[in-house]
Structure 1
Amino acid sequence: MRLNPVFLLSATDASHFPTEAKTYGAPEVAFLGRSNVGKSSLINALLGSKEARVSSTPGRTRAINFFALHEVHGGRQKAAPALIFADLPGYGYAKISKSISAEWPQFIEPYLAERETLALCICLVDTNIPPQESDHQLITYLKQIQRPFLVVGTKADRLSNNVLGKNIAALKREHGIEDILPVSSKTSNGIPALWQSIQGVLE
């Protein structure tokens, strides 16, 4: 299945959330992670495009950016999206001003807790650094509100298999989870397996 991504909108308030998911019954997949974890790069690797804006400045994404993914058959694009990606603002970066950090829960928490069309949360953790408390808080929160989630370990290409294995074991232990999918936006390792998990929400 070929999917063509189309940028929908940036939302900084619950009233801005797109209606396409509800109108067409398209499941939504949210991407969450600390600033600079490689969220936009991963979304672009999945889409095979540069739809998500990659910034060298951590914490640059301050809104939820929504992308509609339309099936393409025989060169023709279906009007109704098959899937919607939501790119959420990064968290846990000290240089973000307090005013932005204060605004964060006003529309992020309602999105995660109340969004009916949200089918899966992709939680990104950096395999190159020790387990982070902010990641643990997010994973605990998703467990509490009973949101389906998948933990993905980014930047896996930077480590030897031996070190990667040890780091993933530490992340699983600290975050109290059974599975972490290691991926690399650079080499595309793990991207097909991630797509398989995402397409599971379509079924």
Structure 2
Amino acid sequence: MTLEIDRGKTTFRYAFSVVEDLKAWLDSQQDLTGFCFAGRSNVGKSSLINSLFGNGTARTSKTPGRTREINIFSFQLLDNENDEEPKLYYLFDLPGYGFAKVSKEMSQNWHELIGTVFGSITEKVGVVNLQDARHPNLEADFAFHDFLKNYDLPTFLAFNKIDKLKRQKDRASLEKLKPKLFSEYEWVKQIHFVSAEKRKGVPKLEEALVDFLLEFEK
């Protein structure tokens, strides 16, 4: 039986905007396993999280760049053949990056918060970087990966809003970009094309994420 994310069991746990509080919580945890979701502001990150983990998990903001805290959730895998207490995994919803209308102080706080998470977790927490399929690899995305490469964390790259690419030529161009991305971003393990709104490609991404979690159960 193929396991899947139990969308009815995702639970909000914490919200951190102060580095010291976040560090104290991370230091108190043992054997964290799960995912960090990161992407440019207004790229559809909350929509993808809701599609994967259940509607209402992540809050969407009408003002890009407004959310400057890390929201942490617990989630489980659905296994109808196992009566044991399910293992708790963790989802880190990271604040969006690359939005110009934020102060230098807020930008610095972002770097400190994200750096605290990436510096505290292990390879058991994968990074899911979400980009807009219509505007791949913008300057802010390059900057994020330049930041991420210092931590050697397994990364999934997901291009959202693939349904907005109406022309076959545009979809083919994005597909041809994959070898270049794998070459430049050695820490990226898989690349997925998805539409959170239409759920296109989402089941395949979910399967890949579940397989990642189960690797540590062997």
TM-score by length of 1: 0.84
1:197 deviation in Å?
Answer: 1.7
Q: Cα distance, 1:162 vs. partner?
A: 2.8
Q: State which of 166, 177, 183 in structure 1 corresponds to 2:173.
A: 166
**Alignment gaps of 5+ in structure 1:** none
Structure 1 174/195 Cα, relative in aligned 2: closer, same or farther at 3 Å? closer
> How many residues end up aligned between the 2 structures?
200
Question: Is the 1:71–1:78 contact (alpha carbons within 8 Å) kept by the matching residues of 2?
Answer: no
Whether contact under 8 Å (2:42, 2:64) holds in the other structure is yes
Tell me the equivalent position of 2:152: 146
Q: How far apart in 2 are the matches of 1:59 and 1:70? A: 29
Cα 1:56–1:62 shift into 2, 3 Å: same
Give the superposition deviation at 1:157: 0.8
Moved more, 11-20 or 115-124: 11-20
Identity %: 29
| Equivalent in the alignment of 2:49 | 43
Given that 2:76 and 2:88 are in contact with CA atoms closer than 8 Å, whether structure 1 keeps it comes out as yes
In structure 2, which of residues 60, 64, 68 is the aligned counterpart of residue 54 of structure 1?
A: 60
Aligned 1:49-128 pairs, distance under 5 A: 49-71=55-77, 81-116=87-122, 119-128=125-134
Is contact 1:32–1:123 with CA below 8 Å preserved after alignment? yes
Report the aligned-residue RMSD: 2.8
Structure 2: state its 5+ residue gaps.
Answer: none
Identify the residue that residue 187 of structure 1 maps to in structure 2. 198
Q: Distance between the aligned counterparts of 1:69 and 1:174, measured in 2?
A: 30
Cα–Cα, structure 1 residues 126 and 72, in superposed 2: closer, same or farther, change >3 Å? closer
Q: Give me the whole-angstrom Cα distance separating, in 1, the residues matched to 2:72 and 2:13.
A: 5
